[in-house]
Amino acid sequence: MIPNSPNASNPPTAAAPTWVPIRPLAPRHGDRILAHLLELPPHDRYLRFGYAASDGQVARYVETLNFDRDEVLGIFNRRLRLLAMAHLAYLAPEPGQSEARAEFGVSVSANARGRGYGSRLFDLAVLHARNRGVRTLVIHALSENAPMLKIAHNAGAQVVREGSEAQALLKLPADSMASHVEQMMETGAAEWDYRFKLQATRIEQLRRALAQLTGRDGETTLAPAQTPVNQPDNAPAETPH
């Protein structure tokens, strides 16, 4: 029996969902993508790729990303470190079928778990896939990859397990004017957020350079706290896309 508490009759309400800026990635983000995947713990890397991928195999995967055909989406922290990413690969129609299909894969840094980033990336990937005419989203995962299969199951996907592997199929509704407007607004807001972080990073780098020239090493960090991070790191500045 659980003892009564003063708040037993008034359980806390769930927190309102927080918007997470998710930006489309481009070939120039390759170094950040590679760094993100290489820093995954061994078991996380195993779950992401379905096998114990070596550093060389991860590097080849990044090199072969087709940004013209597929979509790669990412979540950055305030220092432009890539915390989570999704790969939405558009598949060629199977023989005898004309239905468009796409495959979804996702990875989240160990220190960024528990924030719903995987689910958020999945939801946005579904939106993008719908707007590209995809009618079936495919998720291949190991049967032990419970978080990925849970996301698929909660979305209404049909999950089939075969030994150590599992496949989830999610039927998508047709696109609409509302879905295209939603994607446009999401992309625009995430781009604005990214540029704001980029400018803040450049200002911080300039401040540190001036502090070294004048012999003062201040500790104040001029960066927006839009995406939390547990272990901030200095990321190189880049030109916004």
Q: What is the pLDDT of residues 63-97, one digit of tens each?
A: 999 999 999 999 999 888 999 999 999 998 777 77
Q: Give the separation between CA 20 and CA 120, rounded to whole angstroms.
A: 8
For the domain that residue 148 is a member of, what is the CATH number? 3.40.630.30
In-domain check, residue 72: yes
Q: What is the pLDDT of residue 179?
A: 94
The model's pTM is: 0.75
In-domain check, residue 133: yes
Q: Give the separation between CA 10 and CA 196, rounded to whole angstroms.
A: 40
Confidence of residue 241 (pLDDT cuts 50, 70, 90): low
The structure tokens listed for 202 are 């450049």
In-domain check, residue 50: yes
Instruction: Count the domains in the chain.
Output: 1
- What range defines the domain where residue 173 resides? 23-182
Q: Give the separation between CA 85 and CA 122, rounded to whole angstroms.
A: 10
Confidence of residue 139 (pLDDT cuts 50, 70, 90): very high
Mean pLDDT of 177-205: 87
Cα–Cα distances (Å) from 82 to 24, 34, 42, 44, 50, in that order, read 12, 10, 18, 16, 21
**96 Rama class: left (phi>0) / alpha (psi -120 to 50) / beta:** left
Q: Indicate the burial class of 93 (C-beta count within 10 angstroms; 0-12, 13-18, 19 or more).
A: exposed
In-domain check, residue 35: yes
In-domain check, residue 83: yes
Q: Tell me the per-residue pLDDT of 1-33, one tens digit each, with 9 for 90 and over.
A: 444 433 444 444 444 447 889 999 999 999 999
Of the candidates 230, 28, 211, 205, the one whose C-alpha atom is nearest the C-alpha of residue 115 is 230
Of the candidates 89, 52, 26, the one whose C-alpha atom is nearest the C-alpha of residue 240 is 26
| Residues above pLDDT 70, as percent of the chain | 82
Q: Please give the single-letter amino acid code of residue 90.
A: Y
In-domain check, residue 13: no
In-domain check, residue 189: no
In-domain check, residue 230: no
Confidence of residue 129 (pLDDT cuts 50, 70, 90): very high
Q: What is the pLDDT of residue 203?
A: 83
Q: Point out the least confidently predicted range of 91-100, 140-149, 185-194.
A: 91-100
Q: Point out the least confidently predicted range of 143-157, 190-204, 221-235.
A: 221-235
Contact between 84 and 112 (Cβ < 8 Å): yes
Q: Tell me the per-residue pLDDT of 180-191, one tens digit each, with 9 for 90 and over.
A: 999 999 989 888
For residue 118, give the H/E element and its range. Answer: helix 117-131
Q: Give the separation between CA 204 and CA 223, rounded to whole angstroms.
A: 7
The structure tokens listed for 171 are 């039927």
Contact between 101 and 93 (Cβ < 8 Å): yes
Confidence of residue 231 (pLDDT cuts 50, 70, 90): very low
